[in-house]
Amino acid sequence: MSAREEVLGRIRSALRDAPEAPQVPRDYRTTSARNEEELIEQLVERLEDYKATAHVLTLEQVPAHLAKLLAGQGRYAVPQGLNAAFFADLDTDDEDGARRIVDGVPSWLTAEQLDAVDAVVTGSAVAIAETGTIILNAGADQGRRIITLVPDRHICLIKSKDIVGILPEALPRLDAALPQTWISGPSATSDIELERVEGVHGPRTLDVVIVRP
Amino acid sequence: MSNTFLGMPSLPVFGTGNLFEREPFPEFAHRELQDGQLRANLGHATRTIRQKRLSVVAELPDWEALRSAGSAIKESVMARLPELLEEFEANFTARGGTIHWARDGNEANEIVSSLIKATGETEVVKVKSMATQEIGLNEFLDEQGISAFETDLAELIVQLDHDKPSHILVPAIHKNRTQVRDIFLREMEDVDPELSNKPAELAAAARGHLRRKFLSAKVAVSGANFALADTGTLAVVESEGNGRMCLTLPETLITVMGIEKLLPSWQDLEVFMQLLPRSSTGERMNPYTSLWTGVAENDGPQNVHLVLMDNGRSAALADLHGRSALHCIRCSACVNVCPVYERTGGHAYGSTYPGPIGAILSPLLTGITAEENNSLPYASSLCGACYDACPVKINIPEILVHLRGEDVDSKRGTAKIPTQIDIGMKAASWALSSGKNLGLVEKTLPLGRLVAGSDKKITQLPGIAAGWTQSRDLPAPPKKSFRQWWNKEHQPPQKDADNPKPGQGADS
C-alpha cells in the first residue's frame, strides 16, 4: 500500500464514528463602516505604529515626492508594470539615467543585483486599515516577490480606493493562484525577551505612499 | 476488530521523533525550578506577551465570534479530512507542485533528504517549523552529510548554542539578551567583538551572519501555517523576512506539514489571520505572510514540494475525546498564560510541544504509554487559563483529565501488588459509599489533631501523600466534622426540648 493510501485509510478509520461537519457560525464583522478619509487616517496610524513612514499625496504630487524620497539614494529597482510617469521628476534630475533598474522582460534581476540597489518602488493590490497591512499579489505594478525582499528599503504606493477597513473585505480582491506577500511594517522580530525590534532580514525601511486621485 | 474491514489499517499508529519525555515531568521540572535565572527570563517574557495579547484582543469587538468560527472550521476540517486532503492535493499539483505522503517522521525525513540529494546540494536554509522540529529533521540531515541552517532568530540562537527549543513561538525564550550576546560572541564567526546586548544590535548581527547564506542558497525547507484546500495554497506567517528569503530565493522549496493544518477554503483565512497574529505575538498583524500556490512562473522556486505527514495525527484523530487537540494552530497563547510553564520552562516537557497544548498533543501523538509521556497530562493545575486563551477554543483541561483517565486505565491490573493509589482509592470508595462508613472515618479526626501538634500543622504526610506536604503544610483537621457540627446545630425541633432522644444528634 502506498503511503498516500495508508495515511488516507488511517484517517478514514479514525473517523469511524462519522462525525458531522458543523455549520460554521460566521457572526464576525465582514464589513466596516469607515469612509475613505477615516480609512486613510487609520491606515496611517497603524503603519506608524509599526515604525513605517506614511505619506498621503494626490496623484500630481507623487513624482516630486518620490524624487524627494529617493534623493541621496543610489540605484532603485521598479517592476516593469509600474507607471513610468511617477518617475518624471527623477528622470529630469537623473544625470546618467541609470539609477532606475527595471525588473521584467528581457532582464530579470538576480538576488545579487537587487542586493546592490538601495531601494525598490512598487504598487500594491490592497491595504487593510485596521491592521496596517499592504498586500502584494504579483500584479504588473507589484512585480516578483524577490524585488520587494532583497533591497533594504521598500517604497510602496497604494491607491486610496484600494484601502479596505478589515481583512474579510480584502480577501475577495485577491487572486489566490498568484503569489502573495502581506506586509505589516518593516521586518521585525520579538525573539529576544519578546521585545519587538524593527529591521531584520526583509527591508528595514518601509515607506507607504497613499495616493488620492 | 472492525477497524480492519475494507482493508483499512488498524489504529492507532503512533508518531516518531522529538515527542517523548525521557524522564517524568515532575523530576525534570523539579530540577528546572532550581534555576532562578530561567524563572526570571520566563516570567519577564511571558508577562510581556500576555499584556500585548490582551490589549490587541480587546480591540476587536468580534473576538469571541472569530473564536467560535475558528473552532467550527477546524472541527469541520477534521470531519472532512480525507476529502479535503484530496482536494488540496489536486489543486496544488495542478499548479506545478509535487506532493509526497509520509506515514511518520522517519519517512518524512527520508523524503526530504532524498529531495535535497537530488539537487546535488549539501546545504539548506530553513524557516522555523514545528513539524521539522518534531521529526528531528536537522539531526537526520546532518547524519546524511547535509547542513541545515536555521534562519529564524530564536532558532538560530538555539542552534548556535547547541540547545533545544523551549517554546513554540520563541524557541529561545529561556535566554535573556545578555545570554544571547554571549552565544553570538562565542559561536558566530566574524561577529563584532564589541557587540552589545541591545536586541536591535543582536538582530543586526543575525542579519549580517545570514545574508550571504540567503543570497546563495539553492534549497530551502519550511513548514506551513495553513493549507487552503479549495485553492491549493500554502501560507507561512512570520516576522523577520527570513521566511520570505527562504520561500523566494532558492530554486527548490520543500515544505513539511502535518495533515491537520488544512483549512477548507480561501475565505477561512479571514478568520485565522485575525486569530493567529493577535494570539501569538500580540500584534494586529505579523510583519510578513507569504502565500504560494504550486509554482509561479518566473517568481520564486520552480521546484516546489510538499510533504504531507501523519506521524501520529491519525492516532490522535481516532481519540474521540482528544481529537480536538489537532485544531491547534501553534500560536502558543496557552503556553504564555500557563502558570506551570511559566515556572518550569519548556524543556521539562521533553517533547517539541511544550506547555498545555504539548501536555495533551504529545501523548495523543505517541500514545499515553510511550516512554514517560504519561506524566505530561499531570503537568497542570487544571486552572483553565489555556482554554480561555485558545483562539480555537480547544478545551485543554478536559482533554488533560481524559488523558489522566487513559493513563490510570493503562496501568489497571498490570501491577501484581496493589499500589498506594489502588489502596487509597479502595479505601475512599468504601468510606464514601455510605454515611455510616464516612462517620466512622470522621471519628479518627482527633488522631490528625494529635499528629499536627500544638502548631496545628501537619508538615509531613506518609507515602505518596508526602508529595502534598513537600512544599506546603496541611492544617490540622477541625475538632469535628461538618456533619457532626450540622447535627449538633440543627437538632430537629422537638416539643420536649429538655429530653432529646439519645442517638438522634450524631449520625453514628
Q: Determine the structural domain holding residue B220 and report its residue range.
A: 25-315
Which residues in chain B have Cβ-Cβ distances shorter than 8 Å to A43? none
Q: Coil, strand or helix: which one is B261? A: helix
> B-chain residues within 8 Å CB-CB of A195?
48, 199
Residue B149 grid coordinates: 541552517
CB B306 within 8 A of CB B92: yes
Candidate from A16, A146, A198 with C-beta closest to B3:
A16
Residue B318: all three cell numbers together = 481516532
| Residue B2: per-residue pLDDT | 42
- CB-based contact A7 B310, cutoff 8 Å: yes
Higher local confidence (pLDDT), A50 or B3: A50
Chain B residue numbers touching A116 (CB-CB < 8 A): none
pLDDT at B412: 77
According to the model, what pLDDT value does residue B502 have? 53
Residues in chain A: 213
Closest CA to B83 of B257, B262, B305: B262
Domain membership of residue B428 (yes or no) is yes
Which are the contacts of A195, defined by CB distance < 8 A and separation ≥ 6? B48, B199
Q: Which residues of A82-101 are buried (b: 16+ CB within 10 A; e: fewer)?
A: beeebbebbeeeeeeeebbb
pLDDT at A3 exceeding the cut of 90? yes
Q: Across the interface, do A191 and B153 touch by the CB < 8 Å criterion?
A: yes
A contacts of B8 (beta carbons < 8 Å): 9-10, 12-13
B66, three cell numbers: 472569530
> Nearest-5° angle of CA B343, CA B398, CA B48?
35
CB-based contact (8 Å) between B445 and chain A? no
Answer yes or no: is A22 within a domain.
no
Whether B69 and chain A come into contact, CB under 8 Å, resolves to yes
Rg (CA), chain B: 28
- What are the pLDDT digits (tens) for A116-170? 999 999 999 999 999 999 999 999 999 999 999 999 999 999 999 999 999 999 9
Query: How far is Cα B383 from Cα B255, in angstroms, rounded to an integer?
Result: 37
The enclosing domain of A96 has a CATH number of 3.40.50.10420
Q: Are A82 and A123 in contact (CB under 8 A)?
A: yes
Q: How far apart are CA B355 and CA B332, in angstroms?
A: 8
Cα atoms in the Cβ-side hemisphere of radius 13 Å centred on B341: 30
Distance from CA of A47 to the nearest CA of B (A): 11
In a domain, A9, yes or no: no
Assess if residue B126 is contained within a domain.
yes
Pick from A131, A193, A201: CB nearest B242: A201
Q: In this structure, which amino acid lies at residue B37? A: Q
Q: What is the pLDDT of residue B452?
A: 84
Q: Mean pLDDT for chain A?
A: 94
Please report residues of B whose CB lies closer than 8 A to that of A13. 3, 8-11, 314, 318
Q: Please say whether the beta carbons of B475 and B456 come within 8 A.
A: yes
**B83/A contact by beta carbon, under 8 A:** no
pLDDT value of residue B505: 45
**Residue A2 domain-assigned (yes or no):** no
Question: Does the beta carbon of B1 lie under 8 angstroms from any beta carbon of chain A?
Answer: no
Same domain, B199 and B58: yes
- Give pLDDT, residue B506: 44
Sign of CA dihedral A86, B287, B326, A169: negative
- Beta-bridged to residue A119, according to DSSP, are A76
CA–CA–CA angle B463, B468, B469 (5° rounding): 90
Q: How many whole angstroms separate alpha carbon B316 and alpha carbon B299? A: 38
CB contact under 8 A, A10 and B310: yes
pLDDT of A100 > 80? The answer is yes
Q: What angle do CA A147, A149, A150 make, to 5 degrees?
A: 80
Q: Which residue has better confidence, B503 or A65?
A: A65
Q: Which residues of chain B have pLDDT under 50?
A: 1-5, 503, 505-508
Q: How confident is the model at residue A93 (pLDDT cuts 50, 70, 90)?
A: low
Radius of gyration for the alpha carbons in chain A, expressed in angstroms and rounded: 21
Q: Which of A6, A171, A198 sits opposite B266 (nearest CB)?
A: A171
CB contact under 8 A, B239 and A10: no
Asked if B12 and B314 touch (Cβ cutoff 8 Å), the reply is: yes
Mean pLDDT of A187-213: 91
Task: Say if B383 falls within a structural domain.
Answer: no
User: Considering the domain boundaries, does residue A18 fall inside one?
Assistant: no
Q: Which domain holds residue A141?
A: 32-212
pLDDT band at A105; cut points 50, 70, 90: confident
Question: How many independent structural domains does chain B possess?
Answer: 2
Which of A117, A128, A191 to substitute to test the interface with B, most B CBs within 10 Å? A191
**What whole-number distance in Å separates Cα of residue B81 and Cα of residue B259?**
8
Chain A contacts in chain B segment 88-117 (CB below 8 A): 95, 100-103, 107
Q: What value, to the nearest 5°, has the Cα angle with vertex B319 and ends B313 and B321?
A: 125
The tally of domains found in chain A comes to 1
Q: Residue B3: what pLDDT?
A: 42
Interface test with B, best of A12, A32, A200, A204 (most B CBs within 10 A): A200
Note the pLDDT tens digit of each residue in B279-297: 999 999 999 999 999 999 9
What was the pLDDT predicted at B262? 98
Write out chain A residues lying below 8 Å of B101, CB-based. 2-4, 6-7
- For testing contact with chain B, the best of A20, A28, A46, A167 (most B CBs within 10 A): A28
Whether the bond into B377 is cis, omega within 30 of 0: no
Is there a contact between B242 and A200 if contact means CB atoms under 8 Å apart?
Answer: yes
Task: State how far the Cα of B76 lies from the Cα of A16, in Å rounded to an integer.
Answer: 15
- What's the CA gap between B47 and B253, in Å, rounded? 37
| The pLDDT of residue A97 | 62
**B10 within a domain of the structure (yes/no):** no
B283 touches chain A (CB under 8 A): yes
CA-based nearest distance B371→chain A, Å = 23
Q: Which pLDDT score is estimated for B236?
A: 98
Q: Give the per-residue SS3 of chain A.
A: CCHHHHHHHHHHHHCCCCCCCCCCCCCCCCCCCCCHHHHHHHHHHHHHHCCCEEEEEEHHHHHHHHHHHHCCCCCEEEECCCCHHHHHHHHHHCCCCCCEEEEECCECCCHHHHHCCCEEEECCCEEECCCCEEEECCCCCCCCHHHHCCCCEEEEEEEHHHEECCHHHHHHHCCCCCCEEEECCCCEECCCCCCCEECCCCCCEEEEEEEEC
Dihedral (Cα; B269, B273, B274, B279), 10-degree rounding:
140
Are the C-beta atoms of residues B39 and B33 closer than 8 Å to each other? yes
The SS3 of residue B95 is: coil
Within a 10 A sphere around the Cβ of A21, how many other Cβ atoms?
Answer: 15
Pair B56, B284: CB distance under 8 Å: yes
Strands B288-292 and B233-238: antiparallel
Residues from chain B that touch A181, judged by Cβ atoms under 8 A, are: 244, 288-291
Please compute the mean of the pLDDT values over residues A16-31 and round it to a whole number. 96
Does residue B436 form part of some domain? yes
Q: B315, B335, B353 — which closes off a domain?
A: B315
- Distance in angstroms (rounded) separating the CA atoms of residues B407 and B259: 26
Cβ neighbours of residue B297 closer than 8 Å, sequence gap 6 or more: none
Q: For an interface test with B, which of A2, A11, A27 has the most B Cβ atoms less than 10 Å from its Cβ?
A: A11
In terms of C-beta density within 10 A (0-12 exposed, 13-18 middle, 19 or more buried), how is residue B453 classed? exposed
Distance of CA B139 to the CA centre of its chain: 22
- ipTM for the whole complex: 0.96
- B380 to chain A, minimum CA–CA distance in Å? 24
Q: Inform me whether the pLDDT recorded for A171 exceeds 70.
A: yes
Would A79 be classed as within a structural domain? yes
pLDDT at A81: 95
What CATH number does residue B268 fall under? 3.40.50.10420
Distance CA A129, CA A34 (A): 10
Tell whether B44 is covered by a domain.
Answer: yes
